[in-house]
Amino acid sequence: MAGYCRLWAGGTRTLDGASGSGARRNHAIAADAFQALVRHIEDLALCSQGRPVAVGLGVVEAGWVGIFCMATLPAFRRQGAGAAVLRSLAEWGRQQGAEQVYLQVTEANVEARPLYAKAGFEMLYTYHYRVAE
């Protein structure tokens, strides 16, 4: 793995593989919208050969860094890519003044649970979305 690249702000391509100025412009608009809502936000992509292989999103608020949207391409799982993104976002949060870290994970993401347990996370509660009928 080569290193980190920006996913939205000036990012190289979208997660679905689209590239070009339109994709970059749309992601820059999304990043600007997030920045307007939250004071400290970081999107991070670990890239290999210019392609995102593991991603995550960190948000700092009230002394906490929340980590969301963690994803790793199947071919790069169990090789440290997700762990590197998780550690980097936690460290970024500390640099922004966060003293605590929490992680939001979908219940269906069974594959990532060993990574999160090894990092010291444990389930505290569950949540669900209500859908109007």
Q: Does the residue 27 lie in any domain?
A: no
Q: Check which CATH number belongs to the domain holding 75 and give it.
A: 3.40.630.30
What is the per-residue DSSP string for 100-115? EEEE---TT-GGGHHH
Domain assignment present for 109 = yes
Count of CB atoms situated within 10 Å of the CB of 40: 16
Domain housing 52: 39-118
pLDDT digits (tens, 9 = 90+) for 5-36: 655 443 333 343 444 444 444 445 555 665 65
Dihedral over Cα of 113, 3, 39, 91: its sign = positive
Please report whether residue 3 resides in a domain: no
Q: Rounded to two decimals, what is the model's pTM?
A: 0.73
Number of folded domains that form the chain:
1
In a domain, 101, yes or no: yes
Residue 84 lies in a domain: yes
Half-sphere exposure of 96 (CA within 13 A, CB side): 23
